[in-house]
Each structure stands twice: as structure tokens, then as C-alpha cells.
Amino acid sequence: MLTGCLFENRVGVKIFGDTSDLISLHKTVRKINMVIVDYELDNTDVSNLLVDFLENIEKAIHRNRGMYYGFQSRWIDLLIVSSLLRSLSEHAVTDDMDEINMHLLEYIIEQTALSVNKQDYIAIINYIEKGLLCVGIKQFIKGFDAIINNKYSYEKH
């Protein structure tokens, strides 16, 4: 089962699981990322964030086969990825294992990020939940790209 913990710096989250957990999570993220590819939005910051997340999972899988291992992510990246997976899953064919993986990521982020910055956590969740209801996927991704760009440019200064 996937688990996670917040680093002492309160910025990074480590996600742990055995090889089968990580492979299953990878399949879920790839499946949902295909929604972005199908809408020809694979050159967006949202797509890049999901691809980076996939690459982190792959590195963890190949580092230690058969052992309990993991990868790290910034809590805000994990929150965005988790929320996007949930929202975009409505437009993909998912199964029970995908649902379990999304629930586990949501649980990990609730246990870590909510204690770090509740205001950002709530703002991101609200945008994602309301955004897809009001506009199509393409407009949603473009709007979310703007939020990602603003958040990262704000954090760099």
C-alpha cells in the first residue's frame, strides 16, 4: 500500500510503496494522462507536471526492484497531481485499482499538505473541482496552466 510522509523542511513529501504499488500507481497516472494527450494538450505545464510525476515513479521502480521504496515530490505538486487525476479520471476509463490509487494519493496529501498550508490547499482543490464543471477540458487545462505558472513564479521570487 502506498504511504507518505512530510519532510522536515515541510516542502517535500516522500511517497513509499513496494514495486507493485508503484507500478500500479504508474499505470493509473499514465491512463489519466492520456486524456491530456487525446485533447492534444501534451505541451502544457499540466502535462509536464504529470510526465515529471510519472518519471519519478519510474525512477523509484527501477532503483530497487522488489523492495519497499519511494520517491519525493513537493507537496504542492502532489496536491495538483492528485487533484488533476481525480478531475480528469471522469474522462478516462478507470477501474477499481485506479480508484484505490487516487484515494491513497488523496489521503497522503491530506495528511501532509493540509498541515502545511491550508489556504493554498483549499484554493487549489476548489479551482480544480469547480473548473471542470464550468468549462471544457481544453479551457480548464489552459486556465490551470496559468495558475501553475503564477504559483511557480511567485515561489521563485
Write out pLDDT tens, residues 125-148: 777 666 655 556 677 777 777 766
Dig out the grid coordinates for 22 from the structure. 508503484
82-87 long-range contacts, Cβ below 8 Å, gap at least 24?
A: 82/106, 82/108, 82/109, 83/124, 83/125, 83/128, 83/129, 84/32, 84/46, 84/49, 84/50, 84/128, 84/144, 85/28, 85/29, 85/32, 86/128, 87/128, 87/129, 87/131, 87/132, 87/140
Q: What is the pLDDT of residues 69-126, one digit of tens each?
A: 789 888 888 888 888 898 888 888 999 999 999 999 999 988 887 676 677 777 777 7
Q: How far apart are CA 153 and CA 148, in angstroms?
A: 8
State the pLDDT confidence band at 153, using cuts at 50, 70 and 90: very low
pTM: 0.79
Q: List beta partners, residue 72.
A: 14
Helix (H, G, I), strand (E, B) or coil at 17: strand
Q: pLDDT value at position 155?
A: 44
pLDDT digits (tens, 9 = 90+) for 60-80: 988 865 566 789 888 888 888
Instruction: Give the sheet arrangement for strand 3-6, strand by strand.
Output: 3-6, 12-17, 69-74
State CA 96 to chain mean position distance. Answer: 18
